[in-house]
Amino acid sequence: MKPLHNPLFLKFIVYFNENQDYFECHEVLEEFWKSIPNRTKNHPLTAYILLSTGLYHFRRDNKIGAQRTLLKAYSKMTTMTEDAPEYTEGIDFNLLCKDIKNMLHRLENNLTYQTFQINIISKELELLVSDMKLIMDLLPIGSDDVIHKHMLRDRTDILLIRDKKKKDREY
């Protein structure tokens, strides 16, 4: 199976293009990335994860976090076509890189967040994404449930882990 045909990557594209649920984009790609044996933080999927995270921050007006994260995403994306063409085929990858660069320009010039889509250029990938969309439940675009998702979910387990790590460092 081509990486872009993985169901988790298809979900990423649906979340990205249909309701800009960048939090879920991150979640499904992280799940995909964790399923890869011998994965590293240099894996091509991390560029897409960083892209999702950067856009999530930008839309929430965390411009410092957005710029830092989108710069990392852009850096990884610009080397990806040579290193991992299987993660770029089927989408207009040059346009995606230009869109990221445009977002960085918007951040540098203190302009507002602006959405864009991943342009699919493969009929096969387009059909797979359309089929995936039919079986997904999407939150309304622009809703607080999408924009502020990390603040609205139960974070008890995350806070407990963070507190334990902090205590471990103190000893």
All structural domains of the chain with their residue ranges: 3-170
pLDDT tens, N- to C-terminus, the chain (171 residues) = 688 899 999 999 999 999 999 999 999 999 999 999 999 999 999 999 999 999 999 999 999 999 999 999 999 999 887 778 889 989 999 999 999 999 999 999 999 999 999 999 999 999 999 999 999 998 757 766 667 656 655 555 655 666 777 777 776
The burial class, CB within 10 Å (0-12 / 13-18 / 19+), for 61 is: exposed
Between the CA of residue 169 and those of 31, 100, 164, what are the distances in Å?
28, 37, 9
Q: Residue 170 has what pLDDT?
A: 76
Evaluate the CA torsion angle 127, 130, 135, 136 in order and state its sign: positive
Between the CA of residue 24 and those of 20, 80, 98, what are the distances in Å?
9, 23, 23
Radius of gyration of the chain (CA): 17
Q: Residue 158 has what pLDDT?
A: 54
Question: Can you say how many angstroms the Cα of residue 115 is from the centroid of all Cα atoms in its chain?
Answer: 13
CATH architecture type of domain 3-170: Orthogonal Bundle (1.10)
pLDDT digits (tens, 9 = 90+) for 131-147: 999 999 987 577 666 67
